[in-house]
Amino acid sequence: MAVSHLVSQSAFTGVRRRGVATRLLEDERWLAAALLAPTAILLGLFIAYPFAEGVWLSVIDARVGVPGHFVGLANFATLWNDSIFRVAVWNTFIYTAVATVFKLGLGLWLALLLNRNFRGKAFTRAFILLPFIIPTVLSTFAWKWMFDPTFSVINWSLFHLGVIHARINWLGDPGLALISVIIVNVWRGVPFFAISLLAGLQTINPELQEAAAIDGARAWQRFWHVTWPLLLPVTMVVMLFSIIQTFADFQLVYVLTGGGPANATQLFATYAYQIGVGTGLLSQGAAISLAMFPFLLIVVVVQLLYIRRVEVH
């Protein structure tokens, strides 16, 4: 077979002409700018701009239909003296802390259970995620119905198990309301923790566990010294997302109690809604929303630093 036709005959003559656009897009920097432009515009318009406007709103005294004048930190001062706001802050911290602890504990337990091989594992894993997948508001309504003092199936079950003798007003009793809301939040969050932690568990080399077992470690020691440290990075990321979502939560509480009874379940977000949208005090509402920001920032920074430190190792 003649080889000549396989080989280029002509000497290298030179380059094809390229249009300006093509040449520009070959440059990494221009291409990157072009690709990032739509995102930058959308995020700039609907996050950066509102954020700036939110800050501005919080230092004036606007109301719906009434443009405001600069008042400095007066809104924040009012909030500081507002007893309901203080209750809301307290509630939010309790809500977030307790719910996160339980979500982590139960989620981890569930992940460890799911980490074994058993029949119907894939099936189970799929079903477990449902509380997280189904729209929150809709499943929360189911819980509201389950908690209804007159018609509650939970009350019925507890009564027939002999645990209680009178009705429990899950959502109407100021002492119980926060606990009920936390229960629903945990219910919703456990699958997220469980599936994420399960994925983390599955990346841990089983040989490490085996080596530890041969070395004589018992089950919980193996967990504490081998599994947990390796799981920490994933755990921190999951907790980062969860803490922020829970701290800023609105839907759940709004649907279940609206912030009551007597502000027992009032949170930052629900109070901001009540003040800003309900009573139309835009600036005060904006101030309440913004009051969330420092805490969220601290959480993000702390966890990012931690993650970076862990990754370096």
Partner 1 sequence: MARVVIRNLNKMYNEVHAVKGVNLEIRDREFVVLVGPSGCGKTTTLRMVAGLESITSGEILIGETVVNDLPPMDRDIAMVFQNYALYPHMSVHDNMAFGLKMRKFARPEIDRRVRDAADILGIQTLLERKPRQLSGGQRQRVALGRAIVRHPQVFLFDEPLSNLDAKLRVQMRVELKKIHDRLGTTAIYVTHDQVEAMTLGDRVVVMRDGLVQQVGEPLDLYNEPANRFVAGFIGSPGMNFASVRVTDEGGALLAVGDGIRLKLPSAVAARLKDYAGRDVTLGIRPEDLRLASGEGANGLNLDAVVEVIERLGSEILLDVKVGGGSMVAAVEPTVRAKVREQLRLALNPERLHFFDAHSEAAI
Partner 2 sequence: MIEGAKWRRWVFFYIPLGAFIFWLLFPFYWMLVTSVRPDRELYRPWMAPNYTPFWTAHPTLEHITDLLTGTLFLRWMANTLFIACVSTLISLFCGVLAGYALSRLRFRFAGTLGTGIFITYLVPQTLLFIPLADIIRKFQLGDTPWALILTYPTFLIPFCTWLLMGYFKAIPRELEECARIDGATRWKAMLYIIMPIAVPGILSAGIFAFTLSWNEYIYALVFLSSAEQKTVSVGVTSELVRGDVFYWGQLMAGALLGSIPIAVIYSFFVEYYVAGLTGSVKG
Instruction: Enumerate residues 58-87 that contact partner 1 by CB under 8 A.
Output: none
A 10 A CB-CB count for 57 gives 22
Radius of gyration over alpha carbons of the chain, in Å? 28
Binding segment (CB under 8 A) for partner 2, from list 5-13, 80-88, 170-178, 246-254: 246-254
Residue type for position 276: G
Between CA 164 and CA 175, with CA 170 as vertex, the angle to 5 degrees is: 95
Cα dist from 222 to 218, 219, 228, 229, 231, whole Å? 6, 5, 9, 11, 13
What sign does the CA torsion over 202, 203, 207, 209 have? negative
The partner in contact with residue 15, picked from partner 2, partner 1, none with C-beta cut-offs of 5 to 8 angstroms by kind, is partner 1
205 binds partner 2 (CB under 8 A): no
61 binds partner 2 (CB under 8 A): no
22 binds partner 2 (CB under 8 A): yes
Measured distance CA(54)–CA(131) in Å, rounded: 33
234 binds partner 2 (CB under 8 A): yes
The partner in contact with residue 13, picked from partner 2, partner 1, none with C-beta cut-offs of 5 to 8 angstroms by kind, is partner 1
Q: Tell me the CA end-to-end span of the chain in Å, nearest whole number.
A: 59
Measured distance CA(188)–CA(195) in Å, rounded: 13
The partner in contact with residue 35, picked from partner 2, partner 1, none with C-beta cut-offs of 5 to 8 angstroms by kind, is partner 2
The partner in contact with residue 208, picked from partner 2, partner 1, none with C-beta cut-offs of 5 to 8 angstroms by kind, is none
Look at the block and give the residue holding tokens 């606007």.
62
Q: Write down the least CB distance from residue 123 to partner 2, Å.
A: 10
Between CA 5 and CA 10, with CA 6 as vertex, the angle to 5 degrees is: 70
Counting residues that bind partner 1 (by CB under 8 A) gives: 15
Q: Which is nearer to partner 2, 4 or 200 (CB)?
A: 200
Region 107-126 residues binding partner 2, contact defined as CB under 8 A: 109-110, 113-114, 116-118, 122, 124-126
Q: Which is nearer to partner 2, 177 or 252 (CB)?
A: 252
Binding segment (CB under 8 A) for partner 2, from list 82-90, 94-102, 172-180, 270-278: 270-278
**Which of 300, 302, 305, 310 is the binder for partner 2 (CB under 8 A)?**
300
DSSP 178-191: HHHHHHHHHHHHHH
26 binds partner 1 (CB under 8 A): yes
Look at the block and give the residue holding tokens 């997220």.
192
- Contact residues toward partner 1 (CB under 8 A) are 1, 3, 5-9, 11-16, 18, 26
